[in-house]
Structure 1
Amino acid sequence: MCFKLVKSVLESKPGGDRVVNEYNRTKALTDETRRKLVKILTADMIETHGTSPPRQVKEKYARGIVNLFPYLSDPFSKNGYEHDGESGTGYLAWRIKTVQRSSAKDRRASGEGPSGTEHAGGPTVNREFQHVPETTLTEEQCREAISVMKHSTDEEMVKRKMKLTFPHRRDLVVDPHQSSEILSIFPRFKDVKGLIEQDFILMFGEATSVKLLEKWPTTFKQKIIRECQKLPAVNEMKELLLAEDNPEEDYELGWDSDLSSILLLLHLIPPTAQGRKRPGKVAASQAEKQLVVFKKAGTNLQEHLDSITASTQPYLLAVGTKKNVIHQFFIILDKNAIPCRSTSSLGAFDELFKAHFVFGTSYNTVLHNMYVFIQTTVYNIDVAKVKESPRVAEIRARLLN
């Protein structure tokens, strides 16, 4: 029934045959054709049911889309990516809201905006953790362990005591009045490598921790590159694609192949606008600068930290002779430099992502959709709990189907 509904609408409306023919030919839809599909179906829905169609009607059209075009289905969603009945999100819902706003221009503003509901997923959520320590420290024992760690030269002992104090640290992380003091209370994050990884494993387990390093080279990297090759070419994207075309070549332009493929994701999942006070789109090249910053070897690290004028979300500082020859990565968080254990760009990005959860830090607004994609689609954390944009679900469907 749903299949027939969507099929008949596309057959009867101008441009519908183009949508069907493109899908039959490529088993996918370009961004332009996908927008055409959504416009045709929402126009038909509104024509029949008005500008506020019932939820079951939107779900009927949504099921019809994934029945007619199964390769567009989001494998992490029950009904596909065009409409999520539980959260009221998806391309169909977004298009209907656009129509509603347009038709309401001559009426008094309703004050409707993004929901303030706190979603049950993401790095700032208080959650059950995977590891329960066999030994529970008293408050006095915890203070003593923290004191000993601050001055110890035995890194293995520091790691053991960091593991024992993990429950206490999590209590501080989820406390909005104390979370900003974590690096002051536990300063060894800033000189003992691997502590971010250790805390993340205690939170989610080893199987989740290794997902990016295991799945990015085999499942995602080449597919992201192929999808970006279909996009209109811009200079910044050409530079990133060049890293893949010349992985062994000594060229001066850009990052190595792994980091370039991560940055290409910003072209597939465009950066999020910075809010109503700072409206307008943010270019992928601008967003890149909020994810990773390059400094020549020999740069004074403290001078870089002192130059930061505001508290920033975590980003990578890459120090080397050139962008594709990096000697050391640091995670920069609130004017602190945390050395990455990994010297590879993919490993450093893995640590950067994990730092959000270890320190309970919100995603950078501009990078939010990209990070949510990494969180749900790569690490499989909070699947169906965290709110996703339709674009995140669409790109997941493209890459996994």
Structure 2
Amino acid sequence: MTHTNERDTIFQKMQETFHFWQGLIHNPETSASVLSMFPRLLDTKGLVLQDFSLLFGAETAARLLEKWPSYKPKLIKEAAALVQTPLLQRLLQSARGEQVESSAAYHPGWDSDMSTLLLLLHILSPQPAGRKRGHKISARDVIDHLVVFHKSCQSLDEHLDSDERQQPYLLASGTTKRAISAFYIAMDKKLIPCQGNTSLAAFDELFKVHFVFSLNYDESLRSMYTFIQTTIYNIDVGSTKESPKLKELRAKLLHDV
């Protein structure tokens, strides 16, 4: 694989070695070196998607993109019932596809799908950071744990060098948040290019990275990721710990006519 640029060959060889490198991932002595041992993950789009499908099957792998159109308006409706803040109001406008004043303070600027995903963070309320009693991370702060905008004219390497995040997140590179030219999954100070060119498709890959590389969720995003995992993908339903708020939200969405 190291000496070929033929996409079909790379995909075939990664599939053939799937169980081998999954073994490396689950071995504490080798898990940190997987991206170095399999560098094609860093320059070949779609390998994460293939590996997730090998883990769970094509039907499960397709669920977010298939189900999102039915969940999206319900999530917008739920967010509209929350106590309104300037940030929440602008996210709601963006999620609905309404015009937002570009000069507005804290204008998030993301497209409709990403704005709706950020609304989900508000609905489920980010969890306290670490074990510091009484300290709660705000929805505005936790957004950077999920997605970071990067001006396409700036250096990606400089961003990675200065980045201290421990868990994977989306790096969206473009001229504005509504004009993204490429999405990457930033992990271990390396970039995995996303095959998807929309915010929803990129988030789909970000979610799947956690299972492909056997990673824990960022604590501040745990409720959001767990909702996506159990409610939309139907993965490990019943055996995954869920907050009462998450269970209530799922019940409302599934019974909302």
TM above 0.5, yes or no, is: yes
Are residue 359 (structure 1) and residue 213 (structure 2) matched? yes
SS where residue 229 of structure 2 aligns? helix
Please, which of 270, 292, 309 is the counterpart of residue 147 of structure 2?
A: 292
Aligned pair in 2 of structure 1 residues 272, 182: CA closer, same or farther (>3 Å)?
Answer: same
Q: Which amino acid aligns with 1:263?
A: L
SS where residue 131 of structure 2 aligns? coil
Q: Which amino acid aligns with 1:157?
A: T
Deviations 1:162-191 (A, max 9, x none): 000000011111112211111011111110
State the alpha-carbon separation in 1 of the partners of residues 117 and 230 from structure 2.
15
State the alpha-carbon separation in 2 of the partners of residues 269 and 182 from structure 1.
33
Please, which of 387, 390, 393 is the counterpart of residue 241 of structure 2?
A: 387
TM-score by length of 2: 0.94
Alignment of 1:231-380 (within 5 A): 231-246=82-97, 249=99, 252=102, 253=107, 254-277=109-132, 279-308=134-163, 310=164, 312-380=166-234
Please say if residues 179 and 360 of structure 1, whose CA atoms lie closer than 8 Å, have aligned partners that are also in contact: no
Q: Which amino acid aligns with 1:162?
A: M
State the alpha-carbon separation in 2 of the partners of residues 215 and 171 from structure 1.
32
Shift of 1:244: 2.9
Q: Which amino acid aligns with 1:190?
A: L
Q: Which amino acid aligns with 2:128?
A: A
Tell me which residue corresponds to 1:13.
none
Are residue 192 (structure 1) and residue 44 (structure 2) matched? yes
Q: Which amino acid aligns with 1:360?
A: S
Shift of 1:251: 5.8
Are residue 154 (structure 1) and residue 1 (structure 2) matched? no
Deviations 1:177-230 (A, max 9, x none): 211111011111110000000000000000000000000112x10000001111
Shift of 1:159: 0.6
Shift of 1:333: 0.4
SS where residue 69 of structure 2 aligns? helix
Alignment of 1:95-174 (within 5 A): 149-174=1-26
State the alpha-carbon separation in 2 of the partners of residues 194 and 327 from structure 1.
17
State the alpha-carbon separation in 1 of the partners of residues 133 and 186 from structure 2.
24
Shift of 1:297: 1.6
State the alpha-carbon separation in 1 of the partners of residues 221 and 79 from structure 2.
18
Are residue 228 (structure 1) and residue 90 (structure 2) matched? no
Structure ID, larger Rg: 1
Deviations 1:354-375 (A, max 9, x none): 0011111110011111111110
Please say if residues 215 and 378 of structure 1, whose CA atoms lie closer than 8 Å, have aligned partners that are also in contact: yes
Please say if residues 225 and 241 of structure 1, whose CA atoms lie closer than 8 Å, have aligned partners that are also in contact: yes
TM-score by length of 1: 0.61
State the alpha-carbon separation in 2 of the partners of residues 155 and 379 from structure 1.
28
Please, which of 44, 52, 60 is the counterpart of residue 208 of structure 1?
A: 60
Shift of 1:389: 1.0
State the alpha-carbon separation in 2 of the partners of residues 174 and 337 from structure 1.
21
Deviations 1:58-88 (A, max 9, x none): xxxxxxxxxxxxxxxxxxxxxxxxxxxxxxx
Deviations 1:225-246 (A, max 9, x none): 0011111101111111111333
Aligned pair in 2 of structure 1 residues 250, 321: CA closer, same or farther (>3 Å)?
Answer: farther
Q: Which amino acid aligns with 2:50?
A: Q
State the alpha-carbon separation in 2 of the partners of residues 311 and 172 from structure 1.
23
State the alpha-carbon separation in 1 of the partners of residues 246 and 127 from structure 2.
12
Name stretches of at least 5 consecutive residues in structure 1 with no aligned partner: 1-148
Name stretches of at least 5 consecutive residues in structure 2 with no aligned partner: none
Please say if residues 318 and 326 of structure 1, whose CA atoms lie closer than 8 Å, have aligned partners that are also in contact: yes
How many pairs were matched up?
Answer: 250
State the alpha-carbon separation in 2 of the partners of residues 291 and 365 from structure 1.
11
Tell me which residue corresponds to 1:397.
251
State the alpha-carbon separation in 1 of the partners of residues 180 and 156 from structure 2.
15
The Cα RMSD (Å) is 1.4
Shift of 1:275: 2.5
Aligned pair in 2 of structure 1 residues 250, 226: CA closer, same or farther (>3 Å)?
Answer: closer
State the alpha-carbon separation in 1 of the partners of residues 96 and 215 from structure 2.
35
Q: Which amino acid aligns with 2:151?
A: K
Q: Which amino acid aligns with 2:228?
A: I
Deviations 1:16-69 (A, max 9, x none): xxxxxxxxxxxxxxxxxxxxxxxxxxxxxxxxxxxxxxxxxxxxxxxxxxxxxx
State the alpha-carbon separation in 1 of the partners of residues 165 and 116 from structure 2.
28
